[in-house]
Structure 1
Amino acid sequence: MKVDFIIQNTFVMTMEGNGVGMIENGAIAIKGNTIEAVGTTDEIRRDYSAEEVINGENKLVMPGLIDAHIHTGIGILRGVSQDIHNWMQEGLWPFMKHVTPEDNVKGSMMNIIEGIKAGTTTFCDYDGNMNDIVENYVMVGARARVAELVNEIPNDIGDVPVGELYPFHSEIGERKLQNNIRLIENWHGAENGRITCMLGPHGPDMMSLELMQEMKGLAEMYDTKLHMHVAQGDREIDQMIKRYGKRSIAFLDDIGYLNDRLLAVHLTEATKEETQLVAKRGASMINCSGSIGIIDGIVPPILEFLEAGGVAALGSDQAPGNNCNNMFNEMKFVSILNKAKRQDPSVFPAHLSLRLATIESAKAIGLADEVGSLRAGKKADLLLVDLQEPSLSPVITDPIRNIVPNLVYSAKGSEVESVMIDGQFIMRDKQLLTVNEKEVIAIAQEAANSISEKAKGDIHPNSPLIKRMEAGEL
Structure 2
Amino acid sequence: MENKLDILFLHAIVITMRGNGVGIIEDGAVGVKGTRITFVGSSEEASGYVAERLIDAANHKVIMPGLIDAHIHSGDGLIRGTAQDLNHWMQHGIWPFEQALRQDEDAVIKGSLMNIMEALKAGTTTFCDFDTPMTKIVENHVKLGTRARVTELISELPKENKTAIGELYEFDPAEGNAKFERCKKLFDRWHGQENGRITCMFGPQGADMLSKELLLEIKSAADHRKTGIHMHVSQGDREIDQMIKRYGMRTIPFLEEVGYLDEQLMAVHLTEATEEETRFLAGRGAGMVLCSGSIAIIDGIVPPAAAFLEVSGRLALGSDQAPGNNCNNMFNEMKFTAILNKCKFGNPSIFPAWKVLRMATIEAARAIGLGEETGSIEVGKKADIIMVDFTQPCLAPIIHYPVRNIVPNLVYSAKGSEVEMVLVDGKVLIDGFKVVSVDEGKVVRDAQEAAFRVAKAAEGPFSRIPDTPLREMMENGEL
Q: TM-score, normalised by structure 1?
A: 0.98
Cα separation, 2, equivalents of 1:133 and 1:459:
26
Match of 2:327 in 1: 324
Once the two structures are TM-superposed, the CA of residue 310 in structure 1 deviates from its matched residue by 4.1
Which secondary structure state, in structure 1, belongs to the residue aligned with residue 100 of structure 2? coil
Matched, 1:469 2:474: yes
Asked if the contact 2:354/2:407 (under 8 Å) is kept, the reply is yes
Cα separation, 2, equivalents of 1:35 and 1:359:
15
Matched, 1:388 2:391: yes
Instruction: Report the AA paired with residue 235 of structure 1.
Output: R
Match of 1:398 in 2: 401
Match of 2:6 in 1: 4
Once the two structures are TM-superposed, the CA of residue 473 in structure 1 deviates from its matched residue by 4.3
* Greater Cα shift, 86-95 or 326-335: 86-95
Asked if the contact 1:280/1:310 (under 8 Å) is kept, the reply is no
Once the two structures are TM-superposed, the CA of residue 471 in structure 1 deviates from its matched residue by 3.9
Aligned mate of 1:91, from 93, 100, 111: 93
Gaps of 5+ in 1: none
Cα separation, 1, equivalents of 2:313 and 2:262:
11
Instruction: Report the AA paired with residue 130 of structure 2.
Output: Y
Which secondary structure state, in structure 2, belongs to the residue aligned with residue 252 of structure 1? helix
Cα separation, 1, equivalents of 2:179 and 2:435:
33
How many residue pairs are counted as aligned between the two chains? 472
Cα separation, 2, equivalents of 1:224 and 1:107:
28
Cα separation, 2, equivalents of 1:467 and 1:124:
36
List per-residue Cα deviations over 1:379-426 (Å, max 9, x = no partner). 000001001101110100011000000000111001101111110111
Instruction: Report the AA paired with residue 379 of structure 2.
Output: A
Gaps of 5+ in 2: none
Aligned pairs (5 A) from 1:339-358? 339-358=342-361
Identity %: 56
Match of 2:17 in 1: 15
List per-residue Cα deviations over 1:362-384 (Å, max 9, x = no partner). 00000001110010000000001
Asked if the contact 2:313/2:363 (under 8 Å) is kept, the reply is no
Aligned pairs (5 A) from 1:47-58? 48-57=49-58, 58=60
Aligned mate of 1:456, from 452, 456, 459: 459
Cα separation, 2, equivalents of 1:318 and 1:407:
23
Match of 1:124 in 2: 128
Cα separation, 1, equivalents of 2:7 and 2:266:
35
List per-residue Cα deviations over 1:86-106 (Å, max 9, x = no partner). 111111122111111211101
Instruction: Report the AA paired with residue 231 of structure 2.
Output: M
Aligned pairs (5 A) from 1:77-156? 77-99=79-101, 100-156=104-160
Which secondary structure state, in structure 1, belongs to the residue aligned with residue 296 of structure 2? helix
Cα separation, 1, equivalents of 2:455 and 2:172:
28
Asked if the contact 1:282/1:310 (under 8 Å) is kept, the reply is no
List per-residue Cα deviations over 1:329-363 (Å, max 9, x = no partner). 00000000000000000000000110000000000
Cα separation, 2, equivalents of 1:219 and 1:288:
24
Which secondary structure state, in structure 2, belongs to the residue aligned with residue 355 of structure 1? helix
Which secondary structure state, in structure 2, belongs to the residue aligned with residue 97 of structure 1? helix
Cα separation, 2, equivalents of 1:212 and 1:44:
52
Once the two structures are TM-superposed, the CA of residue 307 in structure 1 deviates from its matched residue by 1.5
Cα separation, 2, equivalents of 1:94 and 1:473:
23
Cα separation, 2, equivalents of 1:442 and 1:61:
32
Cα separation, 2, equivalents of 1:286 and 1:115:
17
Instruction: Report the AA paired with residue 39 of structure 1.
Output: G
List per-residue Cα deviations over 1:419-445 (Å, max 9, x = no partner). 111101111011111011100100110
Asked if the contact 2:7/2:52 (under 8 Å) is kept, the reply is yes
Instruction: Report the AA paired with residue 106 of structure 1.
Output: K
Instruction: Report the AA paired with residue 135 of structure 2.
Output: N
Asked if the contact 1:60/1:384 (under 8 Å) is kept, the reply is yes
Cα separation, 2, equivalents of 1:51 and 1:252:
53
Alignment RMSD: 0.9
Asked if the contact 2:382/2:425 (under 8 Å) is kept, the reply is yes
Cα separation, 1, equivalents of 2:151 and 2:37:
28
